[in-house]
Chains A and B, each alone.
Chain A
Amino acid sequence: MTQPAAFTAEVFQNQYLPAGGQIVDAVVTVTASGSGLSAGGEAPSAAEVIMVDCSGSMADPATKMSEAKKACAVAIDTLRDGVAFAVVAGRHDARMVYPPSATLAVANPLTRGAAKDAVTRLTASGGTAIGQWLSLANTLFAGHPAEVKHAIMLTDGRNQHETPDQLAATLRNCEGRFTCDSRGVGADWVATELRQVASTLLGTADGLEDPAELPAAFQAMTQQAMGKAVAEAALRVWTPAGSSIRFVKQVFPQVEDLTGRRVDVSPRIGEYPTGSWGAESRDYHVSVEVPAGGVGEELLAARVSLVANGQPLAQSLVLATWTDDTALSTKINQRVAHYTGQAELASVIQEGLAARDAGDVPTATAKLGRAVQLAEESGHSDTAKLLAKVVDVIDAPSGTVRLKPKVAGVDAELANVRSVKTIRVKKTEEGS
């Protein structure tokens, strides 16, 4: 090799199955390394659209609007020269803030100054229809040659002025055309809506407890978009004849079930979208059901690669070997177990909070109790803290909890929107 590989893929699994065993689980860690990426030459061309909520509630308290303006200015300053960009004001409709017409401007000192100037004149009035904002962003991106297309969407409230079906339809139109990070500010945003946007558009979702956190958050999101080295990559999974894929999930840095997003390349090969990549590392949990083999037989259960422009960037093999040695076949791979727990943690939080909203106290208590237990077991202290705002923890190891009678709405939404965030297993805890 003449140049360092920018991408690596590493597989973690127990390849040994008992006689008759058919389920093969593996965690594949894909890492894009900074040195290899920067040596790779010029960054791909980029386009950025910032959607900022300007509904009436943004004035209450006024810091939401003032911090949002600061955040927009910081994001604009973070854009590289030459990046195409626009700022959109979101209300019950979507309007251009900068440039004035529905097109993308090219970042330079002059346009950045004009854009920041326009942002200072934003006022809070009107309602919220997130789908309208995304539609305008989609129009702005459409036909633009930029390789990396990224959007930031900030809202402070519920998506009131359109139906859930309308939002879903808009998201279907936008899917695969650009990525979008969604953020909520204040106390009235809805976690499921933010997650829906981020999940469909391969971005991240989060809520900000204090409007003062907005500038830093906008800067981080813009910086990440500017740091993307590969615009569009997919996880390609080959599986053998007679097998079926049980699921393909991203499990780090957040849980995202990709199973239903498969695009068939051939009967043996499917691709799952992963969006753009900077210097980062993500984990995927692949679970395959294979035809049982004889003891001693060895099978390639899956070949997992990250591909961009049809070229594999990194590849890893998932194997299955049948054995009658139970010491081998009963060993549980630490990472597979860890992420199985993290995925369950995300779903029990979401299910528990939904049950709580529906007034189903027994289900909510059981699910959130299990969540507390899983967070404790895996050492996920951030999630444990969020859960402690929703339930009184009586005994964490056994998952014994009581629902808090009074919970600030935003605490439940924070627990929900962050439910998908996972932690990695600590190296020291990992057995051989």
Chain B
Amino acid sequence: MTADVTRCPHCDAEVHDGDRYCEACGYDLVTGTEAEAQAPAGAPEARWLSSGRTEEVCAGCGGSSFGDEGYCDGCGRRRATGHDHSELDLDVIAAASDIGHRHRHNEDAVGIGLLPGGGGRPGIVAGVVCDGVSSSDRADAASYAAVDAAVPALLDALREEPGDPGRALELAAGAAQAAAALAAGTDPGTNPPSSTFVAAVVTAEAVTVGWVGDSRAYWLPDPLPADAPTAAARPAGEGTVGLTPVCLTADDSVAGRAAAAGGPPVGAAHPAGPAGALVRWLGADATDTAPHLSTVRPTGPGRVLVCSDGLFRYRPEPAELAAATPAGTPMEVARVLVELALAAGGEDNVSVAVLPFPPPVA
């Protein structure tokens, strides 16, 4: 190590004399503040955050050169792409992600984005969760790439056509699929990086969700009425939502397909084994990647949770999840839900984004 190399006080990546920001984490080297939310080109007002971060230095040998597929050129160790724990806070929306207790990598990626309103026009908020399919190789490469492609694509499309969240979700899923496929590198292999995808767009009128795979979005009324039904809610679909907690997605899994065909209701426990086997995903070997779309019009205030199975495996029923979701700021709520999953065993990576309805006007 040469004497003139300096390191970022926040993430320890190499920085150069005269740099204003750390290239790795965005830390402001002059004022000593953490990364500002990123803004898509041409839209200075839109803001977004994601849990993705690519390690610049190999945890195995300290080397800094990595091949296309994300393995250290020196010792062959896999490059870490995400934090073990992250919290994303844009005040009106927030998200949290944690590696859990059992997994070696946090293969969940989460992103949140905000298109502020103005001139009396309400804002639009969005959340994206991609859960790396742990049976695929280097799943985190797909999930992080997918989120980092999906969130700006979503915001760009919403800025162009705020009235068409469905189109924005399709474009975002397309961008996520392209990025996840590219993450396979030059050698996709027989089991390339794969990920689920779920995104929610909350406008002043509606909540629109798009998904591929078995990550979920839930509608939770806020406040939760004392007499809210405890039985499983009706399956997701078009229409309105109000005082009843509802799962807005239908898992792309063997069990999810069965439920959609009239079997056990969606929202039931996330099954392990073959019944839980994914039937759709994003990645280089994925063929069917158009997102399912569902739009509901809330009749009152509420919150949308976008989450990975690391959370909902412990509270699969919408009513259970609603009962476990406290009042508080989106960041407080996200933290509490991640803690809940960790306390219940933390079997998997856990991620959740919390979006309010209606979105803030300012």
Taking each of A299, A301, A312, which has the highest tally of chain B beta carbons within 10 Å of its own beta carbon?
Answer: A299
Taking each of A290, A296, A317, which has the highest tally of chain B beta carbons within 10 Å of its own beta carbon?
Answer: A317
Say whether B189 contacts A11, CB under 8 Å. yes
- Minimal beta-carbon separation of B119 from chain A (angstroms): 48
Say whether A242 contacts B75, CB under 8 Å. yes
User: Is residue B71 contacting chain A, with contact meaning CB distance below 8 A?
Assistant: yes
B residues near A316, Cβ cutoff 8 Å: 187, 189
Say whether B61 contacts A241, CB under 8 Å. yes
User: Is residue B74 contacting chain A, with contact meaning CB distance below 8 A?
Assistant: yes
User: Is residue A416 contacting chain B, with contact meaning CB distance below 8 A?
Assistant: no
B75 touches which of A9, A10, A241 (Cβ 8 Å):
A241
B residues near A301, Cβ cutoff 8 Å: 76
- Minimal beta-carbon separation of B68 from chain A (angstroms): 10
A residues near B137, Cβ cutoff 8 Å: 317, 319
Q: Using A241-B61, A315-B187 as known contacts, say yes or no to A299 and B104 having CB atoms under 8 A apart.
A: no
B residues near A312, Cβ cutoff 8 Å: 186
- Minimal beta-carbon separation of A269 from chain B (angstroms): 10
Say whether B76 contacts A299, CB under 8 Å. yes
A240 touches which of B75, B138, B187, B189 (Cβ 8 Å):
B75
Interface residues of A in 200-246 (CB under 8 A from B): 239-243
User: Is residue B28 contacting chain A, with contact meaning CB distance below 8 A?
Assistant: no
A299 touches which of B69, B73, B77, B186 (Cβ 8 Å):
B77
User: Is residue B67 contacting chain A, with contact meaning CB distance below 8 A?
Assistant: yes
Q: How far is the CA of A299 from the CA of B76 in the complex (A)?
A: 5
* Binary per-residue interface labels of chain A (298-326) against chain B in the complex, 1 for a CB within 8 Å, 0 otherwise: 11110100000000100111010000000
Say whether B104 contacts A297, CB under 8 Å. yes
- Minimal beta-carbon separation of B108 from chain A (angstroms): 16
Say whether A241 contacts B74, CB under 8 Å. yes
- Minimal beta-carbon separation of B192 from chain A (angstroms): 11
Q: How far is the CA of A319 from the CA of B69 in the complex (A)?
A: 12
Interface residues of A in 264-291 (CB under 8 A from B): 268, 290
Q: How far is the CA of A428 from the CA of B260 in the complex (A)?
A: 35
B137's nearest neighbour on chain A, judged by CB, is A319
A residues near B69, Cβ cutoff 8 Å: 300, 317
Say whether B186 contacts A240, CB under 8 Å. no
A residues near B104, Cβ cutoff 8 Å: 296-298
Q: How far is the CA of A80 from the CA of B302 in the complex (A)?
A: 78
A residues near B77, Cβ cutoff 8 Å: 240, 293, 297-300
Q: How far is the CA of A301 from the CA of B78 in the complex (A)?
A: 11
B190's nearest neighbour on chain A, judged by CB, is A10
A residues near B73, Cβ cutoff 8 Å: 268
Say whether A317 contacts B189, CB under 8 Å. yes
A288's nearest neighbour on chain B, judged by CB, is B76
Q: How far is the CA of A31 from the CA of B78 in the complex (A)?
A: 28
- Minimal beta-carbon separation of A264 from chain B (angstroms): 16
Interface residues of B in 167-212 (CB under 8 A from A): 186-187, 189-190
Interface residues of A in 63-116 (CB under 8 A from B): none
Q: How far is the CA of A71 from the CA of B355 in the complex (A)?
A: 80
Q: How far is the CA of A316 from the CA of B188 in the complex (A)?
A: 8
Q: How far is the CA of A9 from the CA of B187 in the complex (A)?
A: 9
The dominant DSSP class at the A interface is strand
Interface residues on A, range: 20 to 34
A residues near B76, Cβ cutoff 8 Å: 239-241, 243, 290, 299-301
- Minimal beta-carbon separation of A26 from chain B (angstroms): 12
A residues near B189, Cβ cutoff 8 Å: 11, 316-317
* Binary per-residue interface labels of chain B (259-297) against chain A in the complex, 1 for a CB within 8 Å, 0 otherwise: 000000000000000000000000000000000000000
- Minimal beta-carbon separation of A306 from chain B (angstroms): 12
Say whether B186 contacts A315, CB under 8 Å. yes
Q: How far is the CA of A299 from the CA of B78 in the complex (A)?
A: 6
Q: How far is the CA of A239 from the CA of B104 in the complex (A)?
A: 23
* Binary per-residue interface labels of chain A (36-52) against chain B in the complex, 1 for a CB within 8 Å, 0 otherwise: 00000000000000000
B residues near A242, Cβ cutoff 8 Å: 75
A11's nearest neighbour on chain B, judged by CB, is B189
Q: How far is the CA of A299 from the CA of B137 in the complex (A)?
A: 11
A303 touches which of B67, B75, B190 (Cβ 8 Å):
B67
Q: How far is the CA of A19 from the CA of B190 in the complex (A)?
A: 25
B residues near A239, Cβ cutoff 8 Å: 76
A302's nearest neighbour on chain B, judged by CB, is B76
Q: How far is the CA of A9 from the CA of B186 in the complex (A)?
A: 11
Interface residues of B in 113-143 (CB under 8 A from A): 137-138
Q: How far is the CA of A240 from the CA of B72 in the complex (A)?
A: 8
- Minimal beta-carbon separation of B96 from chain A (angstroms): 23
A residues near B187, Cβ cutoff 8 Å: 9, 315-317
B residues near A243, Cβ cutoff 8 Å: 76
Q: How far is the CA of A290 from the CA of B77 in the complex (A)?
A: 11
Say whether A300 contacts B74, CB under 8 Å. no
A242's nearest neighbour on chain B, judged by CB, is B75
- Minimal beta-carbon separation of A294 from chain B (angstroms): 9
Interface residues of B in 32-71 (CB under 8 A from A): 61, 67, 69, 71
A residues near B67, Cβ cutoff 8 Å: 300, 303
A300 touches which of B61, B71, B190 (Cβ 8 Å):
B71
B77's nearest neighbour on chain A, judged by CB, is A299
B residues near A315, Cβ cutoff 8 Å: 186-187
Say whether B186 contacts A300, CB under 8 Å. no
Q: How far is the CA of A316 from the CA of B103 in the complex (A)?
A: 26
Say whether A240 contacts B74, CB under 8 Å. yes
Taking each of B67, B71, B190, which has the highest tally of chain A beta carbons within 10 Å of its own beta carbon?
Answer: B71
Taking each of A240, A268, A301, A303, which has the highest tally of chain B beta carbons within 10 Å of its own beta carbon?
Answer: A240
A residues near B190, Cβ cutoff 8 Å: 10-11
A residues near B103, Cβ cutoff 8 Å: 296
- Minimal beta-carbon separation of B61 from chain A (angstroms): 7
A residues near B61, Cβ cutoff 8 Å: 241
* Binary per-residue interface labels of chain B (98-118) against chain A in the complex, 1 for a CB within 8 Å, 0 otherwise: 000001100000000000000
Q: How far is the CA of A73 from the CA of B341 in the complex (A)?
A: 79
- Minimal beta-carbon separation of A156 from chain B (angstroms): 47
* Binary per-residue interface labels of chain B (290-312) against chain A in the complex, 1 for a CB within 8 Å, 0 otherwise: 00000000000000000000000
Q: How far is the CA of A242 from the CA of B61 in the complex (A)?
A: 11
B residues near A297, Cβ cutoff 8 Å: 77-78, 104
B residues near A9, Cβ cutoff 8 Å: 187
A residues near B72, Cβ cutoff 8 Å: 240, 300
Q: How far is the CA of A239 from the CA of B74 in the complex (A)?
A: 9
Q: How far is the CA of A312 from the CA of B68 in the complex (A)?
A: 14
Closest 3 CB pairs of A and B: A240-B76, A296-B104, A300-B71
Selected A-B contacts with CB under 8 Å, 25 pairs? A11-B190, A240-B72, A240-B74, A241-B61, A241-B74, A241-B75, A241-B76, A242-B75, A268-B73, A296-B103, A296-B104, A297-B77, A298-B78, A298-B138, A299-B75, A299-B76, A300-B71, A300-B77, A300-B78, A303-B67, A303-B71, A312-B186, A315-B187, A317-B69, A317-B189
Given A241-B76, A298-B138, A317-B137; 14 other pairs, CB 8 A cutoff: A241-B61, A268-B74, A290-B76, A293-B77, A297-B77, A297-B78, A298-B77, A298-B104, A299-B77, A300-B67, A315-B187, A316-B187, A317-B187, A319-B137
Q: Chain A residues in contact with chain B, CB under 8 A? A: 9-11, 239-243, 268, 290, 293, 296-301, 303, 312, 315-317, 319
